[in-house]
Structure 1
């Protein structure tokens, strides 16, 4: 993880400064917060490995801060790339280890270990009893033939730090986090020298029990103080979205937004109708959410306005045409075939 953190810092240095932040919100209903609370805990634990590796309890302020930033990305609905990681490919963290258990190699002949296995409290070892009582620990799977013991907690904890405490106890041959087997989609974060945090949403697929064969990553820059989000870039293997990126409400200024025709696979025709005169920006994005072309048009009020958008020279595939108006961003899915 430290090597990954270091490589991310180099990537951030090269990518920062080339994206326009949008105002978002760091608040959400409890039903949405619940979706990202565990993600926030894992991100906080990862960060603790650098600034507080020996602390067992997860810093609640850090959890709250990460939750705010994850909600900021969730609420950044004006960024089509947000739909990529929230709606089309809902991405969450893939924890490196369980936050509620550790694995020990033990000698059951040690009296306190025998008492712990048999539910006797106190166990006779003051240091062990303090850990057991403080973190509500109980024995899980026990394999006496090899001296393997899984120890469970009622709380989410920084398990590398808890494991380190158990290595100091008599009768414990080794102690380590209960590491996760296989791999999967993930969210990785890293701070920058300024107040922003960089978030990398990685969608992974293809034989993930063996490590995942393919990956596509979306990079966002989040400011937790101002609650702003910028989409920086996306990269990796091509992805094919199973859903259409659309806003849930198109009320207000917009009356019509249609993509009606292709001209020999080179030009798309866009029809707009607005309640009031407005300048509109049309952004063409590829399947990853990356901006590939844009144009601005002045649309008169209450009139069916037509404009053409060239896709000449673009690879065949799925694209999204995002219409930016002062009351929101609206998208249409386009299949380009030459």
Structure 2
């Protein structure tokens, strides 16, 4: 629950940041800046795709018919002799990595919507199953609420307490970052920091 919906609203005149908060906040802002200039990230915002970890943007699993000439060509030479699949391979720089006899990990050079990719991959008759890779665990996250070239609004959350199973506690900072370099703390809420 947002702290401000549970308490009487009052104007904040001063917000104190402890020195040990600076590094995580700076890291969040640097991530947001890099995110704002990445072509792949603009597609993520455009299609409202969110991810909790980089693996979800770069990896998918497929189960294949290893007797297929198209698949064996892809595995050996990097192209499949299937025009539609070769366009996907070329566009997203799809790389195969063998896991087991019929199961392969697909890597993409840039972050893309892996859910959309796997929906396209299962249309090929020699790909029996495809799924995006999921992350295990939880932790600190950054969510872009609003973005334009002059202003980014984001929520940075810091999670702690048994995060491999899902963080028990979480603290939130909602920040506004202006093109001029000015950073505004819009609100702060959540559990008291450890």
> Taking structure 2 as the reference length, what is the TM-score of the superposition?
0.68
Are the counterparts in 1 of residues 54 and 111 from structure 2 also a CA contact under 8 Å? no
Rounded Cα–Cα distance in structure 2 between residues aligned with 1:106 and 1:136 = 19
1:115-126 equivalence runs, <5 A: 115-117=73-75, 119-126=76-83
Q: Could you tell me which of 33, 45, 48 is aligned with 1:47?
A: 45
Query: What does residue 233 of structure 1 align with?
Result: 187
Structure 1 residues 134, 44: closer, same or farther in 2, change over 3 A? Answer: closer
CA RMSD, aligned part only? 3.5
Query: What does residue 113 of structure 1 align with?
Result: 71
Runs of 4+ in 1 over 6 A off after TM superposition: none
Q: Could you tell me which of 139, 152, 156 is aligned with 1:201?
A: 156
More helix by share: 2
Name the structure, 1 or 2, with higher relative contact order (CA <8 Å, separation 6+): 2
Are the counterparts in 2 of residues 43 and 189 from structure 1 also a CA contact under 8 Å? no
Query: What does residue 150 of structure 1 align with?
Result: 105
Rounded Cα–Cα distance in structure 1 between residues aligned with 2:164 and 2:152 = 30
Rounded Cα–Cα distance in structure 1 between residues aligned with 2:181 and 2:32 = 18
Where 2:77 maps in the other structure, the secondary structure is coil
Query: What does residue 129 of structure 1 align with?
Result: 86
Structure 1 residues 45, 133: closer, same or farther in 2, change over 3 A? Answer: closer
Which blocks of at least 5 consecutive residues in structure 2 are unaligned?
5-10, 14-26
Are the counterparts in 1 of residues 41 and 111 from structure 2 also a CA contact under 8 Å? no
| Alignment length (residue pairs) | 167
Rounded Cα–Cα distance in structure 2 between residues aligned with 1:38 and 1:231 = 17
Choose 1 or 2 for highest CA Rg.
1
Structure 1 residues 181, 45: closer, same or farther in 2, change over 3 A? Answer: farther
1:87-102 equivalence runs, <5 A: 94-95=52-53, 97-102=55-60
> Taking structure 1 as the reference length, what is the TM-score of the superposition?
0.42
Q: Deviations over 1:237-279 (max 9, x none)?
A: 1114xxxxxxxxxxxxxxxxxxxxxxxxxxxxxxxxxxxxxxx
1:158-173 equivalence runs, <5 A: 158-173=113-128
Structure 1 residues 47, 203: closer, same or farther in 2, change over 3 A? Answer: same
Shift of 1:115: 2.4
